[in-house]
């Protein structure tokens, strides 16, 4: 890659742009308060170390409130930038709460041959020991690395893939994990140590034109002890077109919930199965009798939900299979 090609940094808000009244307050802050120019200015030498940077403020959200309109604008803008010869890669600042969903969404739609690096922070920008500046610097380092590609998540020096990454801890700085699979790489003293292959996929760019339309309503229901059926018809009555059941163990579903889902499925509801377990995949055999398709056996329920949304928008088949060792 030519060193004069630029990295575009797109900001969407999140804790990395958060502000608290006290530098020792890591939890009582407002997310998404500072713009991207403020964040970059707080990192000495970033521009010189990283080469040309283009800064864009797309949103100022707490990522718990991420919505379809913002995701659609983000996907469209990233797609435009990927098509520019002058762009070497894209970095996205994002809140941690739904980062894994955005990463999967962009992977499923774009499967980019250039790096699209999503980064974040667990402490607000005003914290005494804020982690955002180092994470942003690391993300730009990954985007600049020769040969890096695909949608990547960078946090606490680890580089995760979009299929495996999930938020594993509510407070620690190293809040993200790739479970059994492990990270793709580590950023160490400004250099990248690559452990395994960059993510591959099949772009579904034809769906970009559909993102401006109302998205299909897809809900997640969880199988658990004493699970009952009342929420299924209620969600269908509210307009749900698809449902993901977060199943216990190796994909089992409580009998009452299974009955209600089967009835809804027979009436046209699209039902997919995902596992509740944080690590591993659903291991299926020829004798399995669970009636709900586990189309994405290594993906978490929130990612299966996103996959089903995109399926219902018009894709045919899988939008990306998880690695066998997904966490």
Active-site residue set: 15
Q: How far apart are CA 97 and CA 217, in angstroms?
A: 20
Three-state secondary-structure class, residue 155: strand
Q: Where are the alpha helices (DSSP H) in the chain?
A: 36-41, 46-50, 68-82, 99-110, 132-144, 231-237, 255-266, 301-312
Burial class (CB in 10 A: 0-12, 13-18, 19+), 158: buried
> 164 with 141: CB under 8 angstroms?
no
Give me the residues paired with residue 287 across strands: none
Give me the residues paired with residue 11 across strands: 57, 93
What is the residue-wise DSSP string for 199-231? P-----GGGGGGTTSPPPPEEEEE--TT--STH
Q: How far apart are CA 198 and CA 256, in angstroms?
A: 42
Give me the residues paired with residue 186 across strands: 158, 193
Q: How far apart are CA 323 and CA 84, in angstroms?
A: 30
Burial class (CB in 10 A: 0-12, 13-18, 19+), 111: buried
Three-state secondary-structure class, residue 109: helix
Nearest Cα to Cα of residue 253 among 301, 206, 205: 301
């Amino acid at each position: 890659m030519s060193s004069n090609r630029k990295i575009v940094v797109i900001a969407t808000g999140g804790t990395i742009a958060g502000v608290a009244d006290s530098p020792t307050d890591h939890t009582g802050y407002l997310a998404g308060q500072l713009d991207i120019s403020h964040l970059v200015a707080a990192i000495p030498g970033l521009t010189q170390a990283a080469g040309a940077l283009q800064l864009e403020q797309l949103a100022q959200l707490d990522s718990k409130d991420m919505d379809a309109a913002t995701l659609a604008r983000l996907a469209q803008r990233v797609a435009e930038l990927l098509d520019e010869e002058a762009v070497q890669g894209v970095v996205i600042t994002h809140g941690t709460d739904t980062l894994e969903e955005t990463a999967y969404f962009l992977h499923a739609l774009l499967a980019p041959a250039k790096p699209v690096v999503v980064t974040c922070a667990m402490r607000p920008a005003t914290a005494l020991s804020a982690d955002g500046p180092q994470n942003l610097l690391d993300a730009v380092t990954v985007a600049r690395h020769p040969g890096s590609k695909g949608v990547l998540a960078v946090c606490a020096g680890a580089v995760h893939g979009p299929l495996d990454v999930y938020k594993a801890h509510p407070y620690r700085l190293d809040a993200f994990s790739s479970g059994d699979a492990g990270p793709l790489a580590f950023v160490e003293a400004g250099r990248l140590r690559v452990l395994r292959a960059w993510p591959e996929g099949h772009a579904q760019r034809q769906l970009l034109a559909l993102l401006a339309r109302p998205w299909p309503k897809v809900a997640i229901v969880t199988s658990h002890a004493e699970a009952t059926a009342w929420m299924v018809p209620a969600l269908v009555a509210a307009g749900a077109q698809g449902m993901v059941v977060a199943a216990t163990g190796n994909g089992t579903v409580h009998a009452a919930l299974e009955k209600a889902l089967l009835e809804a499925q027979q009436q046209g509801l699209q039902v997919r199965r995902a596992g509740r377990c944080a690590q591993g995949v659903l291991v299926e055999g020829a004798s399995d009798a669970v009636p709900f398709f586990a189309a994405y056996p290594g993906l978490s329920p929130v990612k299966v939900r996103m996959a089903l949304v995109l399926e219902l928008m018009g894709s045919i088949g899988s939008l990306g299979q998880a690695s066998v060792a997904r966490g």
